[in-house]
A and B are shown apart, each in its own frame.
Chain A
Amino acid sequence: AQSVAQPEDQVNVAEGNPLTVKCTYSVSGNPYLFWYVQYPNRGLQFLLKYITGDNLVKGSYGFEAEFNKSQTSFHLKKPSALVSDSALYFCAALAGDSSYKLIFGSGTRLLVRP
């Protein structure tokens, strides 16, 4: 079965420190991968995507993600965390069939302390 895993329910980091939110995937074919962020009682906002090309993808608000095919991972990173980055982060992958639907991970709550 196709799936996306986010092994950490919560990540805690001090403001100014680098952050990493982990994601691994299991989909057929070439993966199309996404990161979204959600603030309380809001919809999801798109951060970045990997389709093809450079393994390091840059996105909104200073976030970036590194695609690693051998490890089937797509970890989200930011060099210097802000308190305002505190939110719920979702990794998603395009299902490897003929339909266009995203499979989401369970989400990781990022808490950045001042």
Chain B
Amino acid sequence: DGGITQSPKYLFRKEGQNVTLSCEQNLNHDAMYWYRQDPGQGLRLIYYSQIVNDFQKGDIAEGYSVSREKKESFPLTVTSAQKNPTAFYLCASTQLGSSGASNTGELFFGEGSRLTVL
């Protein structure tokens, strides 16, 4: 079945360690996104990518890094520079329109990864 797969679902990290969250999609979508979810704050955009080998910072990119070497993959690294990394992380994707700039389609979300810093 087509969809977005995030792994791991749960992850524990010691302070000072970098961790990488995986996001893979087989929907052939152009654009991929990483959001962070904290209680009462909704979803905040970390990074997004609209094309392979290109990505842009979202609203809260500090302490995070991404890569987009393949269309289907958009891994997120939470670095030791992220001050408060404990959160629920959501990956999403969508198909862009022919102009490449926008589409009217909805985002498809993975099941999320819950990161806890010990």
Contact = CB atoms under 8 A, between A and B. Distances in A.
Contacts of A98: 101-102
B106 A41 contact: no
Nearest to B111: A43
Nearest to B45: A101
A90 B97 CA distance: 24
B104 A32 contact: yes
B56 interface: yes
Interface string B32-45: 01010000111111
A43 B106 contact: no
Please report whether the interface of chain A is mostly helix, strand, loop or mixed according to DSSP. Answer: loop
Chain A: interface size category: 20 to 34
A44 B42 contact: no
Interface of B: 4, 6, 31, 33, 35, 40-45, 48, 50, 56, 58, 88, 90, 92, 94, 96, 101-104, 106-112, 114
Contacts of A32: 104
Interface stretch (A14-22, A65-73, A78-86, A103-111): A103-111
A76 interface: no
Contact of A42 (B33, B58, B112): B112
Given A99-B102, A104-B42, A104-B43, 11 more contacts: A34-B106, A34-B107, A36-B109, A44-B109, A46-B106, A49-B106, A100-B102, A101-B48, A102-B45, A104-B35, A105-B42
Interface centre among A36, A44, A45, A49 (most CB of B within 10 A): A44
B98 to A, nearest CB: 13
A83 B85 CA distance: 34
Contacts of B103: 100
Contacts of B50: 99-100
8 contacts: A34-B107, A43-B111, A44-B109, A49-B104, A100-B102, A102-B45, A104-B43, A106-B40
